[in-house]
Chain A
Amino acid sequence: MAAPIDVHSAAAEAAAEIAHARKDILRIATAGSVDDGKSTLIGRLLFDSKAVFEDQYAAIERASKGDYVDLALLTDGLRAEREQGITIDVAYRYFTTPRRTFILADTPGHVQYTRNMVTGASTADLAIVLVDARKGMVEQSRRHAFLASLLRVPHLVVAVNKMDLVDWSEEVYEGIRDEFSAFAAKLDVPDLTVVPIAALQGDNVVTRSANMPWYQGASLLHHLEHVHVASDRNLVDTRFPVQYVIRPQSDAFHDYRGYAGRVAAGVLRPGDEVQVLPSGLTTTVAAIDGPDGPVDAAFPPMSVTVRLADDLDVSRGDLICRPHNAPHVTQDLDALVCWMADTPLVPRMRLAVKHTTRTVRAMVKELQYRLDVNTLHREPDAPSLGLNDIGRVRLRTTQPLFVDDYHRNRVTGRFILIDEATNATVGAGMLTPAG
């Protein structure tokens, strides 16, 4: 800070508004093949939305080797990444506009780091897949679009980049758009938007570009600011996995017994009749404590503490729901699994399953098929799933889990697989209807 900033009370008010605004947080994952310009695009978004500070800019200016300041250096922060000029692991970036706050996961394009792309996309509301206009759709574009749809990222944006290198050609853009739309139709993409851009100069990134007058749509940032995400949550099927039991055992709170956790779906209110799984016992919600005291409703993604009217035996791993709207209680899991370990997944393998707040042991009963992510062809005879493979698997767990299909509820429909020998996270699973 070179000179003191004159702080008027109006500025303080404006700042307080920035900090307190009831703004959405939009979580974005970017994907795309190597050299499609992801890091440059992100650098451009950060730079043009003034999220790049002078000292950061000075640092990348020093590190840039070419004729221009390499904005990609803003994101590739690891030594090995700079050496190789590639993104190895997810980097998270933050920027804000008057309308929204953005958490951006910059994920790697290399096939060998697909698991890191899945890491970045798993929490995303929106995925941006970059395509190089000169090359069109390649294997990685298909893979990433498919992974985004598999993870049910609600919104998909295809950014056709490097339009400057194809003379701003409308025909090239339309060809890629049509090819991508045809591919997306085979997936389950509820919302697809295609934007032609040139990230290096910033065309159609923050503002509309005069170089592509034939494009009538919004700039990328305008789309990110306005895409509607509030309806992407399930507010119908109440699900409250118990995470931690709070028992103060103090004189002031002698009888306090609260069930802490994060609302996975639905809305929970004091007075609601509820059922506790696995016991199946019913009671009513006596009170709900939020971080600042009692609240009249709890909904995703709130972390609250629920107090029940009756003294039931409830512990971590149990689930509170409404009677007549319970999840499936099952020891048989049918799921699409993204495998993330060098050691392949094979039938009869034993693993730990972490699902909501419950961790159980499981055995791979069957590998039903492996999926070719390019053709979406099912290979029923595949003997195993290798690193970065995706396939449909049936697991048998030692204890019941309380599950929903992933398309109905992303929280109760997902799990991770852990290798109990190495403790590594080796797989991500999304539950599908049996059959």
Chain B
Amino acid sequence: MTTADHRLTQLQTLEAESIHVLREVAAESERPVLLFSGGKDSIVMLELARKAFAPARIPFPVMHVDTGLNFPEVLEFRDKRVAELGVDLVVASVPDAIAAGTVREEPNGSRNRIQTPVLLDAVEQHGFTALFGGARRDEDKARAKERVFSFRDEFGQWDPKNQRPELWDLYNGRTHLGESIRVFPLSNWTELDIWGYIAQEEIAIPQLYLARERDVVDRQGMLYAVNEFITPRDGEQVLRESVRYRTVGDANLTAAVRSTATNVEEVIAEIAVTRLTERGATRGDDKVSDAAMEDRKKEGYF
């Protein structure tokens, strides 16, 4: 990897920065946990964690906030990856919380908001002091404002007007009891960097990210695959289209994009020329208002 002029590639630079962040938290935080959903960003983050501590095992558990609305393939992928790495998996279940009455289903069917209290309960129950998230600053304008180490109070709330100054790479992860730090090792990665890294490292991903013919319905210009969470409404026509997913969230909310990319290199080629952001192209939930992400983050969302 070294060259005569001692330079790194862009991906090597980002990798070095992320590994530094992962090790810093492992060294200083009492009980860190890595949020792992089986999506591409958390897959890359988990791979970086593997590298950061190799040949030892990853020294913290991973946690999944399971909304009960996941693509089955993603859950399978999650369990397989966790078993391969020998890390402990904590599942915080939204359906369990609904059954217990601690959260209530929202009328629009989205479990995005009610995910947050379930996450916070699990953090409290397990005493987690630092939570790695796979969020990137290029995803959303509220995320562009986020520090690498993001202080959260005992309610998990983000106060964008009062963030800790973050100087150089000297991170301050100190908390009082009940407070926590959200840590974003992928802050400086872009969508293209993530795909470039998946290609370079030949990292396995759920097949949902690659194009194939799927049955979809068109809702306001967004293509939703027909599955156990999405059934055609009256008057909706089921179309057979070659599509793939750019992001993988809840199966009832995440739209696919038209694509012919059947391998990672072809995905990169498409993303390099696309004129839509990944969230703009695929997420119904971020269009609620102009500051939807900021509002959710203030409540404790990632």
Query: CA–CA, A414 to B276, complex, Å?
Result: 41
Contact status of A1 and B257, CB under 8 A, knowing A122-B168, A243-B23: yes
How many A residues have CB within 8 A of the partner chain?
A: 91
Query: CA–CA, A92 to B16, complex, Å?
Result: 19
- Asked if B44 CB lies within 8 Å of chain A CBs, one says no
Query: CA–CA, A258 to B91, complex, Å?
Result: 32
Question: Which of B1, B26, B170, B242 makes the CB contact (< 8 A) with A292?
Answer: B1
A15 near B258 (CB under 8 angstroms)? Answer: no
- Asked if B219 CB lies within 8 Å of chain A CBs, one says no
Please indicate the chain B residues that have their CB under 8 angstroms from the CB of A14 in the complex: 269, 272
1/0 per position for B20-64, CB-CB distance to A under 8 A?
100110110000000000000000000000011111110000000
- Asked if B200 CB lies within 8 Å of chain A CBs, one says yes
- Asked if A267 CB lies within 8 Å of chain B CBs, one says yes
Closest to A243 in B: B23
A423 near B6 (CB under 8 angstroms)? Answer: no
- Asked if A47 CB lies within 8 Å of chain B CBs, one says no
1/0 per position for A244-264, CB-CB distance to B under 8 A?
101111101100100011100
A252 near B26 (CB under 8 angstroms)? Answer: no
Query: CA–CA, A94 to B290, complex, Å?
Result: 21
Contact status of A53 and B172, CB under 8 A, knowing A22-B9, A78-B294: no
- Jot down 26 A-B pairs with beta carbons below 8 A, ordered by A: A2-B258, A4-B260, A11-B272, A15-B269, A15-B271, A15-B272, A18-B268, A19-B268, A53-B280, A55-B277, A75-B144, A78-B160, A89-B163, A93-B138, A230-B5, A247-B56, A267-B6, A291-B12, A291-B19, A292-B51, A295-B1, A301-B17, A303-B23, A340-B165, A357-B24, A425-B167
Query: CA–CA, A422 to B284, complex, Å?
Result: 40
- Asked if B154 CB lies within 8 Å of chain A CBs, one says no
1/0 per position for A18-53, CB-CB distance to B under 8 A?
111111110000000000000000000000000001
Query: CA–CA, A13 to B291, complex, Å?
Result: 37
Contact status of A92 and B137, CB under 8 A, knowing A20-B196, A244-B23: yes
Among the 9-residue stretches A112-120, A128-136, A180-188, the one with 4 or more Cβ atoms under 8 Å from chain B is A112-120
A296 near B195 (CB under 8 angstroms)? Answer: no
Contact status of A316 and B19, CB under 8 A, knowing A94-B137, A119-B167: no
Q: Which residues of A contact B (CB under 8 A)?
A: 1-7, 11-16, 18-25, 53-56, 59, 63, 74-75, 77-80, 88-94, 101, 103, 115-116, 118-119, 122-123, 230, 233, 235, 243-244, 246-250, 252-253, 256, 260-262, 267, 289-292, 295-297, 299, 301-303, 316, 340, 354-355, 357, 410-411, 414-416, 418, 423-425, 428
B258 near A253 (CB under 8 angstroms)? Answer: no
Return A47 CB to nearest CB of chain B, in Å. Answer: 13
- Asked if B220 CB lies within 8 Å of chain A CBs, one says no
1/0 per position for B259-287, CB-CB distance to A under 8 A?
11100011011111111110011000000
Please indicate the chain A residues that have their CB under 8 angstroms from the CB of B176 in the complex: 423
Question: Which of B15, B19, B269, B277 makes the CB contact (< 8 A) with A53?
Answer: B277
